[in-house]
């Protein structure tokens, strides 16, 4: 990576500490970049930009794009990024759903720390602008994972990666998925996940929690939708239990 002007005088700030969740995303990016898969990485809904800063500092791609809809977060971030070469990043105060991705770059779009339903709202606006262009996404929804998974499955996203990570007693799914996959052989993203192993304590705890959550929701408003989702998780559980 080229050094910034007067690099010898520049005091590089301490890198932000990444908790287990962001570290899991970072490690996936780092592994993907061993073969240089992406030239542009988008830390959408970046908040303080911890993940993107680490990707930028480690020189993992040509350009890191920070996007958050809250302008003062982006102003603060811009001040913390001045020690990096300006050509290697941009920080945008924008709604991630308004983004457009150039065709001459290989993009990875990270959408993490927002709900699954909100991730879907963002995708619904982005995807029609890219009807034929392959785009890779890395998701880590904070809630409503099923809504995101169902949307990805219905849209024919190919699965690149899925795992679970626990941080501060909360379990999260991490899903890497490709829009417009142009190569055969990748499975479609599953509505509930295809990596579960009931012998794994964390997987069992997580699926039990989801099933209990949807069982409870069948008692409230929108009971038929809750029952529909519950049936899908229950079928997943039953097929895992039969293995």
Ligand X SMILES: C[S@@+](CC[C@H](N)C(=O)[O-])C[C@H]1O[C@@H](n2cnc3c(N)ncnc32)[C@H](O)[C@@H]1O
Per rule CB under 6 A, is residue 67 in the interface with ligand X? yes
**CA distance readout (Å), 20 to 25, 26, 165, 197:** 9, 10, 7, 21
Q: Is the dihedral of CA 87, 39, 1, 46 positive or negative?
A: positive
Q: What whole-number distance in Å separates Cα of residue 107 and Cα of residue 42?
A: 7
- Provide, rounded to whole angstroms, the least separation between the CB of residue 143 and ligand X: 11
Per rule CB under 6 A, is residue 52 in the interface with ligand X? no
Contact between 106 and 39 (Cβ < 8 Å) = yes
Instruction: Rule CB under 6 A: choose which of 47, 76, 117, 171 binds ligand X.
Output: 47
- Provide, rounded to whole angstroms, the least separation between the CB of residue 233 and ligand X: 24
Q: Which two tokens stand for residue 148?
A: 């995101």
Per rule CB under 6 A, is residue 74 in the interface with ligand X? no
Per rule CB under 6 A, is residue 61 in the interface with ligand X? no
Instruction: Rule CB under 6 A: choose which of 114, 159, 174, 210 binds ligand X.
Output: 114
- Choose among 151, 42, 161, 55: nearest CA to 105: 42
Name the one range near ligand X by CB under 6 A: 6-14, 29-37, 40-48, 185-193. 40-48
> For the chain, how many residues are written?
243
Q: Which residues bind ligand X (CB under 6 A)?
A: 22, 45-47, 67-70, 73, 95-97, 112-114, 118, 122
């Amino acid at each position: 990576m080229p050094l910034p002007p007067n690099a010898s005088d520049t005091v590089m700030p301490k890198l932000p500490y990444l908790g287990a969740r962001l570290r899991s995303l970072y490690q996936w990016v780092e592994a993907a970049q061993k073969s240089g898969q992406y030239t542009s990485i988008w830390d959408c809904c970046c908040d303080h930009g911890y993940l993107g800063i680490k990707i930028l500092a480690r020189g993992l791609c040509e350009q890191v794009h920070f996007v958050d809809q809250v302008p003062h977060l982006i102003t603060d971030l811009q001040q913390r990024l001045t020690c990096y070469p300006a050509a290697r990043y941009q920080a945008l105060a924008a709604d991630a759903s308004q983004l457009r991705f150039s065709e001459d770059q290989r993009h990875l779009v990270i959408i993490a720390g927002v709900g699954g339903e909100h991730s879907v709202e963002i995708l619904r606006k982005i995807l029609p602008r890219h009807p034929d262009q392959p785009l890779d996404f890395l998701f880590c929804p904070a809630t409503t994972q099923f809504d995101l998974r169902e949307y990805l499955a219905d849209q024919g996203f190919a699965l690149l990666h899925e795992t679970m990570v626990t941080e501060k007693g909360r379990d999260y799914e991490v899903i890497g998925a490709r829009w417009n996959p142009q190569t055969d052989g990748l499975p479609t993203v599953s509505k509930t996940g295809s990596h579960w192993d009931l012998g794994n304590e964390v997987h069992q705890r997580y699926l039990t929690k989801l099933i209990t959550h949807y069982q409870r929701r069948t008692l409230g408003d929108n009971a038929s939708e809750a029952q529909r989702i519950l049936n899908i998780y229950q079928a997943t559980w039953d097929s895992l239990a039969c293995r």
